[in-house]
A and B are shown apart, each in its own frame.
Chain A
Amino acid sequence: MNISYKILSVILLAFLSTACTKLDEESFGRLSPATYYQNEKEANSSVAGIYQSLQQVQGVSSPWTISVEGTDEFIVPGRASGGWFDPNNIDIMQHNVKADNQTIAGAWINIFSEIGIANAVLESLKSSPAADKFKVQIAESRALRAYGYFYAMDFWGNVPLVTVGKIEQNNLPATTARADIFKFVETELLAAAADLPAANTVDKASYYPRLTKEAVYSLLAMTYLNAEVYTGTARWAEAIAMCNNVINSGAFALEANVVDSFKALNKGKTKEVIFAFSIDPAKNSGSNAYILYSQPALDQQRYSLPFAPANGFSTQKEALDRYETQDKRISLLQYGPQFNLNGTPLVDSKGVQLNLVNCVSFTAAADNEGYRVLKYVPEGVTWTGPYGNNDLVQTRYADILLTKAEASFRSGNTADALTLVNQIRTRSNATSLNTVTLKNLEEERAREFIWEGHRRRDMIRFGTYFNTTWTFKTSTDPITEGIYPIPVTQLATNPKLKQNPGY
């Protein structure tokens, strides 16, 4: 009996003593923001994350789509062969957006999570013991956050202005007026520009595509160009000043062809690109899916692609008709009978040549309906699956020239405007203009920047977004259509937000 008691006590003691009572979570590789950010490399790893997050403003997803979709240059028709039918897209195409639109909701999440990431990173960088080494990184983060707010202001007008990492549930932010967001964007960008290096002072090979002073000036130019829409007060002079900052830096120039800025081989090397997002799917660092999303499947054959494109994003007659036949930019569009690179007809397995026609049905379009836009050309691309490695162009020198042209025209300096517009037209072999009108300026921007994310903003600024009609937009709209609704999911999450008028 005594022996068994001993056995028992030994067993019990052995097991009870091994019993741990700690309930702390083991983090296994998860870091704490309080202890990370000890050096520039660690700071860069998070700032790179903000860049990566902002990438979608030029990628094929929303918010890029909603920056072109309600305009005369972009459609996503549902295909009779199945696929692509999406009422959310159709509502945007027809200016019939409702507050529960999923595409708009997706854009909101993408933009505000970029802002949220920037807020969190900024908070940590500023509170790090090594903060004084992070001047550039802090400036980049502020500029990238302001970039996000520029888009938020542009799409939704009145949005919550938050600069802390985490919003407390009992202290939810209300909507801030569009004009105040404008002021914030302006102030932040100016402050960031002061701390960022100039383009000519950095080694482009190792610094590209980080923000430079000029990249921020170009964003400021775009902000001032639209100031009247956002605040009611025009800021043409400041727009011109910012353009001059870029021009006078001497760091940028037009390339011989528009397409040069979009070629994979030219990434980081063109004189024209002021700010871009780097892409390399082979290194799991972003992907360029323009060809996958847009081109007809037979382009697999034409360009010897390792995949068949999905025949989705298209453009229409209004966009095509803007170009003169000799304008080199028209070659960036696909329309009519299609040919292989060697000139033979591009035919399907039945021997029928692909003939791209204007889109007539947005719900059940035939596969050859809709014209295509091909700026991110497959030439020189390294494919990883169906993804290309062309960097995504955010701002280029042509935009600075046309922004200055428009601001000059609107402030009465038509001579400068004419010179600048013709500079752009000449490059692409379009006929030089003798005089310039606002309509010329609007259309030149449409021709030059098709699918580069400017069209909706431009049409709103010129008023054509509301008072004209085109293929799938058959009626004029009130000006409230120029601001998207705040997604219902956001209103539910934050009851202090106020829905925009008209929704």
Chain B
Amino acid sequence: MYKKNAETRIRHKSNLLSQILLRMKFTFVLLALTVLQLKAATYAQKISLSVKDASLTEVISEIRKQTKVNILYNSSLFTRLKPITISVKDEDLKKVLDQCLKDQPLAYQVLNDNIVITLKKDKPLPGKPAEAAYQKDVQVSGKVTDEKGEPIPGATIKVKNAQATAISDGSGNFKITVPEDAILVFSFVGFKSQEIPVKGRTSLSVSLAMQDNSLNDIVVVGYGTQKQKDVTGAVSALTSENFNKGAQLSPQALLQGKISGVNVAQNSGKPGTSNTVRIRGGTSLTGSNDPLYVIDGVPISTTAGLGQASIRGTGTDVFDQEPINPLQTLNPNDIESMTVLKDASATAIYGSRGANGVIVITTKNGKAGKPMVSYNGQLSVAQVAKKLPVLGADQYRSVIRSLNLPLADGGAGTDWQDEIFRTAFSNDHSISLSGGSEQTLYRTSIGYGNQQGIVLNSNLQQANIQTNITHNALNNRLKFDLKLNYGQNKSNVAPISNTVGGEAGTSMNYEAYVFNPTYDVYNASGNYNHVPPFRINPVSFSTDVIDQKTNQRLLGNLQTSYKIIEPLSVNVSLGYTRQSTDRNSYIDKDNPIGNGFNGYTSVQKFFDYSKLMETVFRFNKSFGKHALDAIGGYSYQYFYGESNRTIASGFLSDEFKWYSLAGASTVNQIASSAESNTLISMYGRVNYNYDSRFLFTGTVRRDGSSRFGARNKWGYFPSGSVAWRISQEEFFKVKAISDLKVRVSYGVTGNQEIGNLNSITTLGPSNNGYIIGGQRVTVVLPQQFANPDLKWETTSQLNVGLNFGLFANRLHGSFDYYKKKTSDLLLRIAVPQPAVVSTQIANVGSVENKGIELELGGTAISKGKFSWDASVNFSRNLNKVLSLSNDLYKGSNIQQAPLQGTVSGAFAQLIMSGYPLGTFYGRRYTGLDNNGLETYDPAGNQVLGSAQPKFIYGTSHNFTWSAWTLGLNLRGVYGNLVYNGTANNLGYKNNLPGRNALQSVISDGVSINQPKAFSSRWLESGSFLRMDNATIGYTIPVKSSNISNLRVFVTGQNLFVITGYKGLDPEVNSEVTASGTPPLGIDYLGYPRSRTYSLGASISFQ
């Protein structure tokens, strides 16, 4: 039964555009416009056709092949039609259709770029009894509408188990004569059918609910697109309407909490922050765990442009060390979709770069029709979400007196956190122009934003331009697709550093916590109060330290596709990216941070470009029940990067800065470097579909990289997957289950983020010279040994998955189990001494990740004007280091997460086999002895727990009531430990009197003689539930024909966090160093998070 239903359901060929359109509620305005605007273009397409006695189905299939037009029909109409004989060459579509349907009881109309075939209004179906033979027939009239009450024209009204049929007219009205006990079946493409017993009524109106079409959603995968139902790998896609709303700190935040298996954690609360994105856990110990980002087909480098500025030789960095976010220059408003490729079947097509998962980003393109101008804008206000409870002035005085310590009383009371935090205002605007004809589609946009940081003197200005043009030529055989994106961010970075280490260590937020609260900001003469030698007035950072970063990126891609001969086509893609980062820093002469430098500047420039050439041949053919889609490609990508840095000091005037380096008396450092790498690949993929029941995908990529050692230049990355859509089987008769697909995949991918020039012996100049005879001799030394065996990290992954839809897909979801093993880990292993270098990169050891992922989504309530859509995702990942050795190298453990500024030379975490990455290792705190000294488990150093969460989850809810919408996103993490390094540093009495301490020292009973120590005392549960986002929107009904959409909304971000964590925020990746992998779960002096409220509007004109 089910099978039959499925076959008779209205079918249509999908493409992305039609799907998006169909998923939107059909409004009268839109309908009218599309009919008017598209008719001409659609009808004008040329057809060549020569058939004899063909069925209409066959003819339509041929027309579909030759044009981009979708033809929608209810196959139940196609009974007893006359065979078609026609022979035309380069004829207009309209004429061909007219000719084919001339003698049939059928009519057609253009609806949203689609052609819908319906019954002729006044003609009965052939074979239908001419006059109703029933007794007590009634004429029923009424109106078919959608959920919003907008009329649906062309809906089919049919008597159940009989022939009588009617079609609704342009206003949705219908008339039909039926027996009074008949049951009417109302149906229309894209909507759920409804059965209504007549029960003698003569007037009957019906509101049809939208059908969930997620099965036919198109998802962007590597090198192409697929229908969701045909996907055999673990792939999750998110389109713009489901992105997180409100002003986002970064594009990655758009998908935060939305996709199972993907953990996106902002590294800080500052504008333009970088993110730690982990897809199915971390695979690499020392290499990059970041996914590969592919923007409009161009894989981009994530390792470019790290800005750092080290001020003192004691290793202290006042300046922040965050890497540049690779997506920073993209405007979220320009992003159409983000697809996360998770298992090897999906990522193997990216070979040696796929092991950490792939995020494929597609930007928006134009839609054919009248030009449309859209504006999106929002104003936001943000405040710090939480402050640290340090001793207030009076508490400080009384604690110090009670401890008999010398009190330096400034006589005032200052909350230093209040002094450096502010209410931050931001505005963000983007305007786009889009439209096009059958031949050419375009969309261009410009965005501008100015985001203040909640810390004084930090802000981010961004501007970007995106232009996408698609042009079809040569009868749609040739297609050009040009995408251009340019973006610039200029930011003033607050000197907030999370690498504050030794005595001289300082940064703006650290000082705000430890600076003497009895001092005023300024002294009597109006200058900053400092407490030499080390305590520097927190507010002085905002005027005396400048740290500017300017980041720019140009991304261009031209794709040329040509249909050589059905079914073979070729696509040549040329991509170019150019990125630069300038970082200029200056410390005023008077500020003690520049201790001794008398004005200090650092000028850094990073620049890189990549060029990409890809040729992909595509074969796409269906024959009978078989469908084959195969690609074979060649890709060449070259990356070049260079950098230079000058540090100078001793300025005559603070005005010179980096603008005028000639004003410096000493050039402390000049350095420059250049690097490149080349990646050459051949790849192929076959998708085979049998009867929509059995699906098979096989992929292989061969990658060669200049980074690899001479003996391992090339690697193969194969994968295969099968899927079975059980719900399509004849025997499958569970009515409640509308879709059921099982998938299995296995494959091998790699991680080649090993840096350049790591496999060969090199010799180079050092920054430091040596003075001989009063002259500086440039020092040239060996830098590293050759490792001709160096290669990528290899990840093999098994994935077993299930997709299901229940109750006509009202509830749908997926479940995945995966197990992946990463071997040949790129480790910086200790080299046996004596040697020129102390460590060297080699392929050593292995790590395992396994877990489950669950995604559920659906419509919980849909009643009249009210609907509630909900989605939930859940993931659990178990990470375990299997080995740190290979045949040659024996490793037992790797220390990680240095305890900066607390206990020098010690580490919080240990990587060792049998335990997960992020295992905390140290002494277990057991309490205090009689002297107020900490006691520990006598067993000594031991495993204290893990920074890996037991599970993560997210849930989104969208409520719609008439023109109102309410969206809520909640997200959480459970079962992880976080090292509260900030409290470890600030939570001891021995900070006093030189440095302020947390209020907890008043009552914790710990003696002032207790030195700072790392133990389980400072590990806290990091579980949390956060309301990331809540948005209330209202679509203003406008009758003007020029305004097609007008929406206003209010968004609140980071509205609350439920957690037992005592620090600022349990979701942290503070230990963000300029290179290497930040350890998980270390909270140390991060830029605090904000709570943000935004008011926004979007308006579209046509």
Q: Does B832 reach chain A (CB closer than 8 Å)?
A: yes
A51 pairs with B770, CB closer than 8 A: yes
**Total residue contacts A-B, CB cutoff 8 A:** 308
Q: Are B764 and A289 in contact (CB under 8 A)?
A: no
Quick check: is A108 within 8 A (CB to CB) of the other chain?
A: yes
Which residues 122-171 in A have Cβ within 8 Å of B in the complex? 124, 148, 160, 162, 165-167, 169-170
Chain B nearest CB from A150 CB (Å) reads: 14
**Contact (A363, B1009) CB under 8 Å given A208-B772, A268-B774, A492-B891:** yes
- Indicate whether A422 reaches chain B with its CB closer than 8 angstroms: no
Contact A363-B1011, Cβ < 8 Å, known A12-B572, A108-B833, A495-B890 = yes
Q: Which of B595, B713, B757, B776 has the most CB of A within 10 A?
A: B595
B835: Cβ under 8 A from any A Cβ: yes
Residues 76-116 (chain A) with a chain B CB within 8 angstroms: 78-88, 102-103, 108-109, 112-116
Contact with B along A1-24 (1 / 0, CB 8 A): 000100110011001101111111
Quick check: is A287 within 8 A (CB to CB) of the other chain? yes
Interface centre among B503, B634, B706, B992 (most CB of A within 10 A): B503
Interface residues of A in 30-74 (CB under 8 A from B): 30-33, 36, 42, 44-46, 48-49, 51-52
A226 partner residues in chain B, CB cutoff 8 A: none
A42, A113, A148 pick with most chain B CB within 10 angstroms: A113
A28 nearest in chain B by CB position: B674
Q: Which residues on B sit within 8 Å (CB–CB) of A297?
A: 532-534
Chain B residue nearest in CB terms to A78: B1011
A437-450 CB mask vs B (1 if < 8 Å, else 0) is 00000000000000
Given contacts A30-B763, A283-B776, contact A112 B903 (CB under 8 A): no
Interface hits, B94-144 → A, CB 8 Å:
none
Q: Which of B704-722 contact A (CB under 8 A)?
A: 704-708, 713
Partner of B757, one of A27, A113, A312: A27
Q: Is A385 an interface residue (CB 8 A)?
A: yes
Complex-state Cα separation, A117 to B834, whole angstroms: 8
Any chain B CB within 8 A of the CB of A493? yes
Of B767, B780, B834, which is within 8 A of A284 by CB? Answer: B767
Instruction: Name the A residues within 8 Å of B778 (CB-CB).
Output: 45, 48
List of B residues within 8 angstroms of A102 by Cβ = 905-906
Residue B771, interface by CB 8 Å: yes
* Chain A, residue nearest B776 (CB): A283
Q: Residues of A contacting B1012 with CB < 8 Å?
A: 85
Partner of B994 from the list A81, A114, A115 (CB cut-off 8 Å) is A81
Contact between A82 and B995, CB atoms less than 8 A apart: yes
The smallest C-beta distance from B828 to any residue of chain A, in angstroms, reads 12
Among B572, B704, B779, find the residue whose CB has the most chain A CB atoms closer than 10 A.
B779
Most buried by A among B707, B777, B830, B834: B834
Query: Beta-carbon contacts of A452-495 to B below 8 Å, as 1s and 0s?
Result: 00000000000000000000000000000000000001101111
A207 on the interface (CB 8 Å rule)? yes
Residue pair A283, B837 in contact (C-beta under 8 Å):
no
Give the interface size bracket for A toward B: 35 or more
List chain A residues, Cβ under 8 A from B534: 83, 297, 308, 310
Query: At the interface with chain B, which of A189-197, A274-282, A325-333?
Result: A274-282
Neighbouring B residues of A385 by C-beta, 8 Å = 312-313, 594-597, 600, 649, 668
Answer yes or no: B447 CB below 8 A from chain A CBs.
no
Known interface pairs A25-B756, A31-B764, A306-B598. Does A116 touch B836 (Cβ–Cβ under 8 Å)?
A: yes
Measured between beta carbons, the chain A residues less than 8 angstroms from B502 are 83, 310
Complex CA gap A81/B1012 in Å reads 12
Q: Contact check: which of B477, B669, B776, B1008 meets A280 at CB < 8 Å?
A: B776
Given A16-B615, A283-B769, do A4 and B477 touch, yes or no (CB 8 Å)? yes
Shortest Cβ distance from B297 into chain A, in angstroms?
Answer: 15
Q: Which residues of B contact A307 (CB under 8 A)?
A: 533, 595-596
- B991 interfacial contact with A, CB 8 Å: yes
B769-822 residues at the A interface, CB under 8 angstroms? 769-774, 776-783, 785
The residue that A160 contacts in the complex, of B638, B760, B833, B904, with Cβ under 8 A, is B833
Cross-chain contact A119 with B834 (CB below 8 angstroms): yes
* Interface locus among B64-72, B80-88, B232-240, B675-683: B675-683
| Interface of chain B residues 585 through 625 with chain A (CB within 8 A) | 592, 594-598, 600, 613, 615
Q: How far is the CA of A310 from the CA of B316 in the complex (A)?
A: 13
Residues of B within 8 A of A250 (CB): none
Please, which residues of chain A bring their CB within 8 A of the CB of B759?
A: 25
Does A206 interact with chain B (Cβ within 8 Å)?
yes
The verdict on A345 contacting chain B, using a C-beta distance below 8 Å, is no
In the assembly, what is the distance between CA of A227 and CA of B660, in Å?
A: 59
Pair B478/A4 contact, Cβ less than 8 Å: yes
User: In the bound complex, do residue B564 and residue A306 qualify as a contact, i.e. CB atoms below 8 Å apart?
Assistant: no
- Residue B423 interfacial (CB < 8 Å): no
Contact of A82 with B991 in the complex, beta carbons under 8 Å:
yes
Q: What chain B residues lie within 8 Å of A45 (beta carbons)?
A: 765, 777-780
Q: Interface 1/0s, chain A 316-356, versus B by CB < 8 A?
A: 00000000000000000000000000000000011000000
Q: Are B836 and A81 in contact (CB under 8 A)?
A: no
Interfacial chain A residues near B314, Cβ < 8 Å: 292, 310
Q: How far does the Cβ of A195 sit from chain B's closest Cβ, in whole Å?
A: 18
Query: In the bound complex, do residue B780 and residue A285 qualify as a contact, i.e. CB atoms below 8 Å apart?
Result: no
| Chain B, Cβ-Cβ closest to A50 | B781
Q: Are A8 and B564 in contact (CB under 8 A)?
A: yes
CA separation between A33 and B782, bound complex, in Å?
A: 7
The residue from B562, B761, B889, B1011 contacting A4, defined by CB atoms under 8 A apart: B562
Q: How far is the CA of A36 from the CA of B503 in the complex (A)?
A: 42
Task: Contacts A20-B636, A52-B770, A286-B770 given; indicate if A46 touches B833 (C-beta within 8 A).
Answer: no
Query: Is the CB–CB distance between A23 and B704 below 8 Å?
Result: yes
In the assembled complex, which residues on chain B have CB atoms less than 8 Å from the CB atom of A495?
890
Residue of B nearest to A389 (CB): B771
Residues of A within 8 A of B783 (CB): 30
Judged by a CB distance under 8 angstroms, whether A370 is at the interface is no
A196 → chain B, closest Cβ, in Å? 15
Min Cβ gap A457→B in Å is 21
Taking the nearest CB of chain A, how far is it from the CB of B309, in angstroms? 14
- Roughly how many angstroms separate A24 CA and B756 CA in the complex, as a whole number? 11
B666 touches A (CB below 8 Å):
yes
Does B225 touch A at the CB level, under 8 Å? no
CB pair B572–A278 under 8 Å, yes or no, is no
Q: Are B533 and A15 in contact (CB under 8 A)?
A: no
Q: Are B595 and A308 in contact (CB under 8 A)?
A: yes
List the 8 closest A-B pairs by CB distance, nearest first.
A308-B533, A81-B994, A307-B596, A112-B833, A102-B905, A206-B773, A83-B503, A297-B533
Residues of B whose CB lies within 8 Å of any CB of A are: 312-314, 405, 408, 474, 477-478, 502-504, 532-534, 560, 562, 564, 570, 572, 574, 592, 594-598, 600, 613, 615, 634, 636, 638, 642, 649, 666, 668-669, 673-678, 680, 704-708, 713, 756-757, 759-774, 776-783, 785, 829-838, 888-892, 903-906, 990-995, 1008-1009, 1011-1012
16 inter-chain pairs at a CB distance below 8 angstroms, sorted by A residue, are A8-B564, A25-B760, A28-B676, A29-B673, A79-B994, A82-B503, A83-B503, A83-B534, A86-B905, A280-B776, A289-B313, A308-B533, A309-B533, A310-B502, A385-B312, A385-B596
